[in-house]
């Protein structure tokens, strides 16, 4: 993969975005009503397609609902494109467009792949919360953003 980019998802992209999420974890997709969440994110212009050489390979939902700071709520990369640095580059692009001085995200303690990606993307551990998913604590991470960029 040479060129990684982001494109705001439109309602025309909804089926593809939903499919990426559904294929990742069918049970979680249904139980967490992710289709509704994805549609809302698209309508609020908070969902971005991740493009690798102009081909959609995943998506990211990004907003400012976490204490009014940048928040990566969800990032999904199609399985055959994982481990190639695409997620790290997509996170960098999200951080570049962030309007605040910090970006936060979280992942389960069992998601070692995401923890490694966050480390590569310059995120620091912020803390953990027990009780969200039984037996699998949620780990929170943040990355400081250049404040000159954040003021623009």
Reported pTM = 0.89
Number of domains in the chain: 1
What digits encode the pLDDT tens for the residues 19-39?
998 888 877 777 778 899 999
As given in the structure block, the two tokens for residue 6 are: 């982001």
From residue 31, give the alpha-carbon distance in Å to each of 34, 38, 57, 138: 8, 14, 24, 18
What digits encode the pLDDT tens for the residues 51-98?
999 999 999 999 999 999 999 999 999 989 988 999 999 999 999 999
Average pLDDT along the chain: 91
CATH of the domain at 85: 3.40.630.30
Percent of the chain with pLDDT strictly greater than 70: 94
- Could you tell me the residue range of the domain that residue 106 belongs to? 4-150
Residue 25 confidence (pLDDT): 80
């Amino acid at each position: 993969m040479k060129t990684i980019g982001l494109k705001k998802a439109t309602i025309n992209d909804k089926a593809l975005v939903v499919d990426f999420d559904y294929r990742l974890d069918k049970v979680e997709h249904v139980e967490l009503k992710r289709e509704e969440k994805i549609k809302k994110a698209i309508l609020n212009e908070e969902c971005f397609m991740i493009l690798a050489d102009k081909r959609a390979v995943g998506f990211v939902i990004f907003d400012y609902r976490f204490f009014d700071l940048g928040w990566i709520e969800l990032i999904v990369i199609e399985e055959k494109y994982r481990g190639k640095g695409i997620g790290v580059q997509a996170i960098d692009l999200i951080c570049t467009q962030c309007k605040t001085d910090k970006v936060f995200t979280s992942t389960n303690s069992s998601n070692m792949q995401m923890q490694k990606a966050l480390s590569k993307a310059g995120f620091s551990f912020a803390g953990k919360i027990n009780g969200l998913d039984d037996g699998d604590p949620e780990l929170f991470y943040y990355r400081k953003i250049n404040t000159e960029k954040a003021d623009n």
